[in-house]
A and B are shown apart, each in its own frame.
Chain A
Amino acid sequence: MRKVRAAAAPYLLALPAWIWFAIFFVVPIAAMASVSLTTGNLLEGFQQTFSFSNYAKAVGQYHTQLIRSLIYGGIATLIMLVLAYPMAYWIAFKGGRRKSMYLFLLLLPFFVSFVLRTISWGFLLADDGILFGPLKSAGLLPGDFHVLATDVAVIGGLVYNFLPFMVLPIYVALERVDPRVVEAAYDLYASRWAAFRKVVLPLSLPGVFAGVLMTFVPATADPVNARILGGTGNTMIGNIIQTEYLTNNDYPTASALSFTLMAVLLVGIFVYARSLGTENVLEAAAR
């Protein structure tokens, strides 16, 4: 009896988590899946008709924004990776006793709301704002120069907002690399570059993997940056879902789009995990 109870203990302890997961994840997903197959409108109500055509219609109508979101998310993730890796490397290996301070600085922006920060970037980048205004009147920039409402502004915003989520997992992975193992590489005739490429980089790949997941998914689905920093030509799928849901009250279309986005991201993650998350890459890096 005691044995049974001891064996059950971990499950019992995990029960609140499971309940939380069921209520706040499984139920909404199921509800959304159901809504995505209904027809009707807000006034007359939605009927479950299993109309899978909702998906075809939504994707047909909004594939431009869907693809654009994936491209923006992808580019932003790549830029973040390029920026974050050296930052994480520097903090982990050169940070010395100030490591925690640098990490705190990295997280400092989180003390201000995400939307507010994005809006202030809007002010900064405004055509005649505090940054470009003086430069333009000084004749250093042409009068029609603008950043706001371009790809650059939206991708820049995504990079700015999600960068810490890339830095942190990479930092954690680098921090866990045993310095003796790196020394062993030097001892075995590796140059600095070879030691990095053959030992440090492969050992930090789990962090890179996590960082990419933690930034690509929210960046691709993000509606805030495109709305505040983008123009009409920069609309992302997140904006469409929001509009369909809140403005047009077209719940089936919004749900179908959400599911499509989720499916695309899941497939992407799966392919990515198969190619990068497995030992194949490590094996290749070892050569």
Chain B
Amino acid sequence: MTEIQAGTEAAAAASGAPQVPAIELDGVVKEYLAHGEVVQAVKGVTLAIAEGEFFSLLGPSGCGKTTTMRMVAGFEEPTRGVVRLLGQDVTNVPPNKRDVNMVFQSYALFPHMSVWENVAFGLRRRKVAEAEIRRRVGEMLEIVDLGGREKRRPREMSGGQQQRVALARALVNRPRALLLDEPLGALDLKLRQAMQIELKRIQREVGITFVYVTHDQSEALTMSDRIAVMNDGLVEQLAAPREIYERPATAFVAGFIGTSNLLSGAVDRVESGCAVLKLGEHGRVLVAEASQRAGDPISVTVRPEKITISTEEPSGDISAVRGTVSEVVYLGLYNSYAVRLADGAEVTVFQQNALDSSSTAERGDAVWLSWQPHHSYAIGS
């Protein structure tokens, strides 16, 4: 709840004036009846998406992303809660009367229509003048780089091209918000990366709010202004990508986004604003900005790339733990080390491959791991 408000305020502050959010979900719950049993697909989601924002719903398969999206589009009615578009309650408004458009996971292009007819479909339904339709469809096909292919049928096009037709078909209507449900899921890696850049460019060009559903964390991190990380029908954290990555609010977020190490123990003492937690005989973990007091249990995450490996014991006010290298994996740009601590916990460390390879630790080496206090984050259970 707090981070949601923070997000809206941040967006409002950015534009210099309080703004009505493009999309608001207020305590939205969706229950399905499956085989006589009530299944809660969405268990209570409250969030606000600012106008012009690139907003992502990120979470594992089955966490309720599509269901949330379909309630915004109007295909599902929430069991409880309210959906607002630009401040207007649209909870019971059918999809054809909502000023949002959706790009479907499978594109859902009209197979019997040409590319041109597909893109013109929405404008035709809205009785836009024919000359205007011609102009706007032509323009949009240029934007998505499909000029000259307007007579093709969807089945005569590649996956990437179909994807762009789906995008053009939705965007040409200039909706208040564009909803994209794993739009790049069916594309191969290379095309997907190209399309990510393309999507960002298009969004900047048209300035429309994008709500982007994905289970791919790197995709969400690179593209979004803000991300809502969902798990099991609930939003676990809603924040900017950097914040999500650097300061995961929960163990789930820490584990889902990138690789993360989780260390647990009890706070030994609090020293100059840092909670200190003892690990093993010589180990210590310093946590900046922890609210825990001496004696409190604490879970701490630290990202693998923030950790330094050394053979000598590091000095100064930093976290330092001992362990033995149990695995080294060469990954090109960097090495990934698995280091087993005395208590059996395994810590992953990424170390960039330096020109001088003498600093690399070998399997079986006893090493010290160290990192800055502000790279340790205490998380809620």
Q: Which residues of chain B in 118-141 are interfacial with respect to chain A, using CB atoms and an 8 Å cutoff?
A: 121-122, 124-126
Query: A194's contact among B95, B109, B125, B169, by CB below 8 Å, is which?
Result: B125
Contact (Cβ within 8 A) A183 B108: yes
For B102, the closest partner residue in chain A by CB is: A187
Number of residues of chain A lying within 8 A (CB) of chain B = 22
Query: A199 — which chain B residues lie within 8 A by C-beta?
Result: 110, 112
Number of residues of chain B lying within 8 A (CB) of chain A = 27
Q: B101 within 8 Å of A by Cβ?
A: yes
Contact (Cβ within 8 A) A186 B94: yes
Q: B73 within 8 Å of A by Cβ?
A: yes
Q: B46 within 8 Å of A by Cβ?
A: no
Contact (Cβ within 8 A) B102 A184: yes
Query: B122's contact among A180, A188, A285, A287, by CB below 8 Å, is which?
Result: A188
In the bound complex, how far is the Cα of B97 from the Cα of A191, in angstroms? 9
In the bound complex, how far is the Cα of B73 from the Cα of A238, in angstroms? 57
Instruction: State the majority secondary structure of interface residues on A.
Output: helix
Q: A202 within 8 Å of B by Cβ?
A: yes
Q: A44 within 8 Å of B by Cβ?
A: no
Q: Which residues of chain B in 82-110 are interfacial with respect to chain A, using CB atoms and an 8 Å cutoff?
A: 94-97, 101-102, 104, 106, 108-110
Contact (Cβ within 8 A) A203 B112: yes
Q: B335 within 8 Å of A by Cβ?
A: no
In the bound complex, how far is the Cα of B74 from the Cα of A198, in angstroms? 20
Q: B75 within 8 Å of A by Cβ?
A: yes
Contact (Cβ within 8 A) A181 B111: yes
Contact (Cβ within 8 A) A188 B125: yes
In the bound complex, how far is the Cα of B75 from the Cα of A203, in angstroms? 21
Query: B96's contact among A190, A202, A283, by CB below 8 Å, is which?
Result: A190
A166-191 vs B, Cβ < 8 Å mask (1 yes, 0 no): 00000000000010110111111111
Query: B96 — which chain A residues lie within 8 A by C-beta?
Result: 186-191
Contact (Cβ within 8 A) A188 B104: no
Query: B102 — which chain A residues lie within 8 A by C-beta?
Result: 183-184, 187
Contact (Cβ within 8 A) A203 B111: yes
With contacts A180-B108, A187-B170, A198-B110 known, what are 13 further pairs, Cβ within 8 A? A178-B106, A181-B111, A185-B110, A186-B74, A186-B75, A186-B94, A188-B96, A188-B101, A188-B121, A188-B125, A188-B170, A194-B125, A198-B121
State the 10 A-B residue pairs at the shortest beta-carbon distance, nearest first: A188-B122, A180-B108, A189-B125, A184-B108, A286-B117, A286-B113, A282-B112, A186-B95, A181-B108, A189-B96
